[in-house]
Amino acid sequence: MHDMKERLSQLWLFALLNYLYADVLALFDIVGSQDPAPHLPQWALLGSAVLMEIPIAMILASRLLPFGANRLANIIAGAIETLAVISMQFVYPLASGAWHEHMFASYIFFGTIETVCTSVIVWQAWTWSGVEAAVRPERTVRQPEAGITSS
């Protein structure tokens, strides 16, 4: 995988699948507990939707945007997602004492993977050079002197 656009897109897909599965496990925990299900205010649901839409959109944006916009979008989106995971899964529970003891291991597990993944996205985008972006892999190989053509 030499194309940075493809690499970033695949990293966003990996991050998204981790976000989704962590949420599925949390829902199973809520449904299986004796506690009443939490009711989130509309602003919290909207915030969650925005945070989920970022990696969904970045899967396509990483492949479609030109170099400059692509690099900037990946750095900003990766930083937002990294900070969101760190604050919601590590900082807020420590500050408020709201650790869910029965979900602690899975939250730490998924939060660590998500943080590493989005940090890698930021690093890859940050170190992505314009020279690398200008050199595109050829999709059509032509060697007319050898009589070989393929697409």
Instruction: Give the residue among 101, 60, 58, 96 at the shortest CA–CA distance from 80.
Output: 58
> Left, alpha or beta for 73 (phi > 0: left; psi -120 to 50: alpha)?
alpha
Could you give the CA distance from residue 71 to residue 4 in angstroms, rounded to a whole number? Answer: 10
Could you give the CA distance from residue 82 to residue 113 in angstroms, rounded to a whole number? Answer: 11
The one-character DSSP state at 2 is: -
136, amino acid identity: R
Could you give the CA distance from residue 55 to residue 21 in angstroms, rounded to a whole number? Answer: 14
7-35 tens-digit pLDDT: 999 999 999 999 999 888 877 777 777 77
Could you give the CA distance from residue 138 to residue 82 in angstroms, rounded to a whole number? Answer: 34
% of the chain beyond a pLDDT of 70: 75
Average pLDDT over residues 130-136: 64
Residue positions counted in the chain:
151
Q: What per-residue confidence (pLDDT) applies to 136?
A: 58
